[in-house]
Amino acid sequence: MTLRWLEGAQGCRNTTIFSRLYAALAGTVGTTPSDQFGRSLVASGNLVLTTPALVGSVQNTWVVGFRFNMTSGVLDTSPSARPGMMFRDSVGEQVRIEAVDTSSSAPGNSKFKLRVMRGATELARTVEEFSQNNSVNNWTYFEWKVTINTSTNGSFSLIWHTHKSKNNTATWDAANTGINTANQGTAGADRIRISWDTGGTDQLTLSDIYVLDSVGSVNNDSVGEIYIEGLDPDGNGTTLDWNLAGGASSLEDAINEDAATQSVGEDDKGVTSDTVSDIELATMSNLSLITNATIVGIQVRMYGKMDTTGSRNIEFYYRKTTGSPATVGSGTLLALTSTSFAGAADTRETDPNTAAAWVIADINAMQLGFQLDS
């Protein structure tokens, strides 16, 4: 399987900035503060984000992992929307998993279940109940695997973890194999929608999200509970061809999405270039939360815009102290076509300089940046 997306919501102080990586945004929330762990998005009950297409053609089997915790309030018994994950194709929804209160007659109930839906049809819900109390110790990490297919060819399964118990397999109140999981009547999906929507003002955390499809062999099947740590640029890299702009005092000041150093619109600080092949690299702060772990993958994010009418393509670049050549392009492009900001992400399961699995020392030594390609 191949890692296609990561989301931890680190480093973003504003929904406008946060949503630039996504193809579609529904709902609004003024800020995106971190949770108690410093790695999660807390929504005010209506934020829904849809990724761009993650693969060139639909794939049948997907896995999504995510951390769930109520931050304030409890799930409504009859909300207008429910939080969860949805796999989609270019037409619309295929299948989703969502949280539901376990009692329609007990307001404030502190338990929830997950149910799998194909459109308006409930396929099954978990027999197990999970805590939704507003406590740092009441999160649950879920890994949902689904084969999206028609007739009797679809299936799904769920693994869950808490701070007390790991690698539990969920049971269902109805069949989870040999079923139709394709709402559009055709197999497969190519993107995911993440919903923090509770239909009200209750707040929740969906974080540490990973998405795998069925192509490749680096990450095989569910990878287990993951933690995402956000790193910011913290200094100048080896190559600095671009120019500081908008009053930026340093490369770190120009790039970081930090409320203390940049405006909400990010128009006051940045770097700029109009010379093809210009490269700009930054050093990165070291990992501090993840100090002894298997690295599932990394995702690098970039935002930019045109200063004037026209278009440019910017490529993600990596520089390492190991591998040859030391500086390599990703092939992933941020295509700029207007004076409005756009974003792009490059997700990497392996070190692009060595084609080997990531190790912490190499991540800490890495420089990240971009090249103006055309």
Structure confidence by residue, pLDDT tens digits, 273-320: 999 999 999 998 898 878 788 899 999 988 899 989 999 999 999 998
Identify whether the C-beta of residue 297 lies closer than 8 Å to the C-beta of residue 359.
no
Residue 39: the pLDDT is: 45
Residue 123: the pLDDT is: 98
Q: Over the stretch 246-256, which tens digit does the pLDDT of each residue have?
A: 888 888 878 77
CATH code for the domain defined by 233-372: 2.60.120
Among 18, 5, 124, CA closest to 64:
5
Residue 33 has pLDDT above 90, yes or no: no
Fold of 2-213: Jelly Rolls (2.60.120)
- Rounded Cα–Cα distance for residues 176 and 125 (Å): 9
**Average pLDDT of the residues in 161-169:** 92
Identify whether the C-beta of residue 132 lies closer than 8 Å to the C-beta of residue 138.
yes
6: left (phi over 0), alpha (psi -120 to 50) or beta: beta
- Rounded Cα–Cα distance for residues 183 and 23 (Å): 21
| More confident of the two residues 34 and 9 | 9
Residue 108: the pLDDT is: 52
Residue 34 has pLDDT above 60, yes or no: no
Q: Over the stretch 200-253, which tens digit does the pLDDT of each residue have?
A: 777 778 889 999 998 877 777 888 999 888 888 888 999 999 999 888 888 887
- Rounded Cα–Cα distance for residues 354 and 335 (Å): 27
Identify whether the C-beta of residue 214 lies closer than 8 Å to the C-beta of residue 60.
yes
Res. 11 pLDDT band, cuts 50 70 90:
low
Question: Distance from CA of residue 217 to its chain's centroid?
Answer: 21
- Enter the pTM of the model: 0.91
Res. 127 pLDDT band, cuts 50 70 90:
very high
Residue 199 has pLDDT above 60, yes or no: yes
Residue 37 has pLDDT above 50, yes or no: no
Q: Over the stretch 65-79, which tens digit does the pLDDT of each residue have?
A: 999 988 777 777 778
Domains 2-213 and 233-372 share a fold: yes
Residue 262: the pLDDT is: 47
User: Whole-number mean pLDDT of the chain?
Assistant: 85
Residue 106 has pLDDT above 70, yes or no: no
Domain-wise residue ranges, the chain: 2-213, 233-372
Return the SS3 of 138: helix
